[in-house]
Chains A and B, each alone.
Chain A
Amino acid sequence: MPNRRLLLQCALLLPVAAHAQTAPNEDTWIGLKPMFFGEKPIDEAPGYVTLDAPARAEDAAMVPVQLKFSAREKGDRVVAATVIVDENPSPLATTLRRGEDAGVFDFALRLRVNSYSYVRVIAESESGALHMVKVFVKAAGGCSAPASKNPEEAKANIGKMRFRTFAGQGMAEAQAMIRHPNYSGMQMDQLTRMYTPAWYVTQVRVLQGEKLLFSMENGISLSEDPTFRFSYVANGQPVRIEAKDSTGAAYAQTFDADGAAY
């Protein structure tokens, strides 16, 4: 048994040594905070939003992150959440805005993480107060990782969407997926060996009937084929997913409440 334990320790120690200088610290955030929130105070009061992210990500180009919004009194409900990856050259991943209900809400997305970094969520309540949660994620190279699909394939499917619900598995959740290469602008073209220009989904809106479930404004840190999983209870109303990308192209698709395409 000891040899196995020792091997395991080696495996854990080596990557850490290579990144020894990138231990968690707040220096980057101290510089970024005023650019996003000016002089507004931000507390770390619990009970508004929680953040789940892996301590060490398997795929830096696809780091799963989950936000859970708690139920709050009217006036103190969270209406927006800004997701920031401190060490990404473009730190703003997304600003998520919630629908009018603003009750309990779970929301999962996938991010690119370029080097060991805090991922943080700054929740804004109806009163304008800001509450922050953060998780340190060990992942590197997510912004520059090559796309998993070739450009022709990505272009052929761009804007295609999927919507599925998990009611059948007993979960009040649904998943929306937008096919898009979501190029960060930091990826090398495998043929020309030049940087592929950024081309990414800038805005998303998901509606249930006339009611907005959530909207997003994004930077370049969302993963390829942006995918979101969120609290959802079918009520017979169709679900519409709308997206815009950085070239101004708009995409939309409407789905049956239970997930089949119209």
Chain B
Amino acid sequence: MRVAALLLFALTFSAFAAPAEPPSYRLDDYQAPVPATLNGQPALDVARAKALWEGGALFLDVLPHAPRPKGLAPEILFVDKPHVSIKGAIWLPEVGRGELSAQTDTYFRQSLSALTAGDVSRKIVVFCKRDCWMSWNAARRAQAYGYRNILWFSEGVEGWRDAGLPMETIKPYGS
């Protein structure tokens, strides 16, 4: 009985910890356990992410950002909470959703082009939060755009922060 219970626990846990990569973008329920890999390439651990950061790789935070809604009465308080991220990271909100509006797609392509000065071999580390499919989606999308050195840091802001690495408040790119 106990062995069966432990086995069940292990199976359940491992299934949660690393689901298989889906054939295409994740469309919803973004805050959930993520795969171990992106297109078969293992996600970065904190040590490797740190080494890349020190080496000057481009760090992209793809956490979504809902701005003050259009149509909200001016007297109603809306708090745009400061977003604390990896120091020096560029924040490209919304680009990790399963499907993008034409506007967001253009924003992602143009931002990448500007940030890399058109160098598709530039090392780019994509992240958001821990257990956030948006970073997986965005990393995959950047690869589809033709960027050849996309690295996925699935531990995200929390992994970086828990390791005591430098953080700072950032604002959406282009805002």
Contact = CB atoms under 8 A, between A and B. Distances in A.
Interface of A: 2-3, 6-7, 10, 14, 18, 21, 32, 35-36, 89-92, 140-141, 143-144, 183-186, 188, 192-195, 197-200, 202, 219-220, 246-247
Contact of B100 (A143, A183, A193, A200): A193
Nearest to A221: B76
8 contacts: A3-B4, A3-B9, A6-B9, A14-B33, A89-B78, A89-B81, A193-B99, A246-B71
A92 B76 contact: yes
A20 to B, nearest CB: 8
Contacts, number: 89
Interface in B63-122: 66-73, 76-81, 97, 99-101, 103-104
A4 B5 CA distance: 8
Q: Give 6 nearest A-B pairs by CB, closest first.
A: A185-B69, A193-B101, A198-B71, A3-B5, A197-B71, A198-B69
B159 to A, nearest CB: 12
B8 A188 contact: no
A18 B30 CA distance: 12
B157 to A, nearest CB: 10
B130 interface: yes
B16 interface: yes
- Secondary structure class of chain B's binding surface, majority of residues: loop
B144 interface: no
B39 interface: no
A220 B76 CA distance: 9
A220 B99 contact: no
Nearest to B72: A198
B80 A89 contact: yes
Given A2-B2, A18-B130, A193-B104, A89 B70 contact: no
Given A2-B1, A2-B2, A186 B69 contact: yes
Given A18-B31, A193-B100, A194-B101, A6 B76 contact: no
Nearest to B130: A18
B72 A220 contact: yes
Nearest to B12: A10
Given A2-B1, A92-B77, A219-B76, A7 B69 contact: no
Contact of B69 (A32, A36, A220): A220
A202 B71 CA distance: 11
A86 to B, nearest CB: 10
B79 A89 contact: yes
Nearest to A19: B31
Contact of A195 (B12, B66, B99, B131): B66
Given A18-B131, A194-B103, A198-B71, 10 more contacts: A7-B12, A14-B33, A35-B77, A89-B80, A90-B77, A143-B66, A195-B66, A195-B69, A197-B70, A202-B73
Contact of B5 (A2, A194, A220): A2
A82 to B, nearest CB: 12
Contacts of B77: 32, 35-36, 90-92, 219
Contacts of B5: 2-3, 6
Contacts of A219: 76-77
B21 interface: no
A21 B157 CA distance: 12
Contacts of B12: 7, 10
Contacts of B69: 90, 184-186, 195, 197-198, 220
B101 A192 contact: yes
B99 A89 contact: no
A140 B31 contact: yes
B71 A199 contact: yes
